[in-house]
Structure 1
């Protein structure tokens, strides 16, 4: 069935408290999507962000981001007083997230709510802790120790804690029981609010597409608690790290810096960690988008300590063996494969065997730096794909139409019959909606006609990313009705 959705990060929702949350503004966005005739809301990873503020570099692959906890809902539950948070300075710009301010002030407010919650026995909290102990216990301890070390990476902790000496861990669990309880409590807050939001969306016919980064941050509880899963040396340092080789987009390639998985070890234990990870996130979201799908076929390994990605080499990944193990264990799941980038025949075969829909990005179709971009031209689409105007790593449509190479813009204008610059965003979205793709996704910024200043992320850069927010009132009924008219026109309702 033909359908459509919108890519809108939770952090980008309007909010008076510095960053989007899973409260009333999120429910209002769901109502907007329903009125606009949409079926899907795609978001970015909801895990806690670390240095650089990227949701793809997180302290935990299972935890929820405390920043997304809605403070008004905590107030309605009697856990906060409005004056404890409403009067604070959460940043001067309603269209940007100031992560420095959020980091400095959010946890103090959440501490007050957690302390009040601890005064009353809550069977729901006890059940949450018991059900999630397999990841929650390590996460709460990890964040507690990290706070004691003023945020230092775990690789720089004292050796007994760094190597998880049982006696040192037991002492820390006893001495820091209150702090550990705090980190567990805010995860309880997060997931209680999250599942309420997801139910609200599902009840209105909106399915949530979530994202799973392929790699794990080096400074994460996952790497600290399970070093055997990664290619680390005897000093617990990575042998090689992740990235992409040089190409037409970057002479130095992309140096991501994540530790690489020890696929031989994972194979021996039946890919248990991956099964657990995908199973968990398929229950968090309705549909799961697997980032960097090609990395399961073969992965690029860059020597640890390199200053760029030019010196890496390719290694064979687990391929379909991993996904067969997942399906055998937890059954067939709703999964989208992010198969962008340089694709080999073996990657195409893995995608075909998986049965997952791949991705098409309309902006890529006209990029003269990519010699394989014919796959992204709409006349080459097949129904079994998810088509985008652009992703969170691409410019907005209006931004792209001013920043791309002149010959690329000229080709796009001719191919798509774009003759009204002020409405390039609408005309390009209409071109996408008219394709045979079963599902199309457009960025929220494109619905608003915003330019490059609202771009979510520019790969290989470390500043001014992940900050865009919609201002209150952006997603009104008039816009919803205009979108719905197009859904009727292109039979995506």
Structure 2
């Protein structure tokens, strides 16, 4: 095949903002795809940003982590706008008054109203959606209905006939749970429809949606339950090895994510059809997609399932070249970005470059004291996406406040050498680390610069989105418009212009 350069490598320089849907302002417990999402698009357009990056938008488990989801395809129902359903006449103002507190109950009520319109074009659109998405939606809807039937227990704890998908048992379950399955399919129809309307609105304003997929899927997911042969499981469908990363910047014992590893041999026999299907869904939802933990496509850290930490794992090769070749053949116009942070070998870098995937550069990681640090602004190449920090980092103010004396000296030395501060740190009143790092990112050679919303709002560590290696207190941050000043908007807009970004 002839490889085409990623358009991000050739297009004009871009600026974007990182903000997950859950972090949008909302009257409910999480942000959604309603009016505030459209207002955020208008804000991006006003400040000259042309990219909106989110975290994965799939349906999460109870911990709300977007990196451990119940499906590689299904959208998160929490993001559905109830007000939009009211506007369609599927819910009433009284429904939204709080008398019904569970969103699932409201969605079931909306489906009942929707089903009464079975002779409309809308209902035909719903049936067409179900047909188009049948490869994943059919099993997902049954999986979720069974999960409710078994009190939210993971599929590995279900009775044997359900766990191992005995055909007569599943046939009976589909009949027994027909109503619940219909509501689940309707919920996904609503999510996809609301998302595509938002995407159209953004694209019309020259804003691309930038998505994110975890390289691995959750063990308790419709994907593993319906395709166990594609994962490294034993005869009882228990994981033999789990995914993670070795000790690194974030953790002295590494990170034990607990996801199952792929059975790459089985994947290859199917011509990577599961992965191609997954990426086809993402290509519909997003203009650009980041592959999280990209290095796992060349070799992944496999940890024996009985190990409590990630220390005693090993690198095991993966067929990334064949996989990316299959994806690019099926989806030649999909822009991909590689999350290539951490331990990156020459082989990983060669794989990324062969398929023209921009890598990531994080300024918080730049100031180690070595002049060849790849994250230092002067070392950043155009074929990159640069950030002050990501969702896994502290805010820039929080990061700076947490630095020890040695780290501070590295930061200040670099800034002095590049004319970003006075000689006497602490006495230079016009020095502002946040403004300085944002400007460094925007002025860098990277073709795409992404600034987290927390940094635009100049927020401290109490507004951090996620702390890797911790199981609680994450994914809850939301902003409100009162935090945003006109000066912040004007400053960013001017910086977009000065940095020749579009």
TM-score normalised by length of structure 2: 0.92
Deviations 1:333-388 (A, max 9, x none): 211111111111111111111111101000000247xx897010011111111101
State whether structure 2 residue 122 is matched by structure 1 residue 111: no
**Distance in 2 between residues matched to 1:373 and 1:390, nearest whole Å:** 19
* Cα distance change, pair 372–45 in 1 and its aligned pair in 2 (3 A): farther
Structure 2 match to 1:22: 33
**Secondary structure of the structure 2 residue equivalent to 1:14:** coil
State whether structure 2 residue 417 is matched by structure 1 residue 406: no
**Secondary structure of the structure 2 residue equivalent to 1:236:** coil
Q: CA deviation at 1:57?
A: 0.2
Number of aligned residue pairs:
477
Deviations 1:105-151 (A, max 9, x none): 22122222122212221111111111111111111100100001110
**Secondary structure of the structure 1 residue equivalent to 2:482:** coil
Structure 1 match to 2:450: 441
Counterpart of 1:461 (choices 440, 449, 470) is: 470
Q: CA deviation at 1:463?
A: 1.0
Structure 1 match to 2:274: 273
Structure 2 match to 1:287: 288
**Where do residues 372-383 of structure 1 align in structure 2 (5 Å cutoff)?**
374-383=373-382
**Secondary structure of the structure 1 residue equivalent to 2:38:** helix
1:293, 1:338 within 8 Å by CA — same for their partners in 2? Answer: yes
**Where do residues 245-264 of structure 1 align in structure 2 (5 Å cutoff)?**
245-264=246-265
Q: CA deviation at 1:475?
A: 4.2
**Where do residues 13-162 of structure 1 align in structure 2 (5 Å cutoff)?**
13-87=24-98, 105-121=102-118, 122-162=123-163
**Distance in 2 between residues matched to 1:174 and 1:381, nearest whole Å:** 57
**Distance in 2 between residues matched to 1:105 and 1:478, nearest whole Å:** 40
TM-score normalised by length of structure 1: 0.94
Deviations 1:171-220 (A, max 9, x none): 00011100110101111111110000000000000000000110000000
Q: CA deviation at 1:332?
A: 4.2
Q: CA deviation at 1:482?
A: 2.3
Structure 1 match to 2:414: 415
**Distance in 1 between residues matched to 2:99 and 2:414, nearest whole Å:** 51
**Distance in 1 between residues matched to 2:366 and 2:257, nearest whole Å:** 25
Q: CA deviation at 1:273?
A: 1.1
Q: Which runs of 5+ in 2 are unaligned?
A: 1-11, 422-427
Structure 2 match to 1:394: 393
1:336, 1:357 within 8 Å by CA — same for their partners in 2? Answer: yes
Q: CA deviation at 1:476?
A: 5.7
1:365, 1:373 within 8 Å by CA — same for their partners in 2? Answer: no
Structure 2 match to 1:482: 491
**Secondary structure of the structure 2 residue equivalent to 1:482:** helix
**Distance in 2 between residues matched to 1:267 and 1:238, nearest whole Å:** 20
1:339, 1:359 within 8 Å by CA — same for their partners in 2? Answer: yes
2:246, 2:311 within 8 Å by CA — same for their partners in 1? Answer: yes
1:391, 1:443 within 8 Å by CA — same for their partners in 2? Answer: yes
**Secondary structure of the structure 2 residue equivalent to 1:484:** helix
Q: Which runs of 5+ in 1 are unaligned?
A: 90-103
**Distance in 2 between residues matched to 1:86 and 1:415, nearest whole Å:** 55
Structure 2 match to 1:432: 441
**Distance in 2 between residues matched to 1:63 and 1:365, nearest whole Å:** 36
**Distance in 2 between residues matched to 1:207 and 1:243, nearest whole Å:** 31
Runs of 4+ in 1 over 6 A off after TM superposition: none
**Where do residues 299-378 of structure 1 align in structure 2 (5 Å cutoff)?**
299-367=300-368, 374-378=373-377
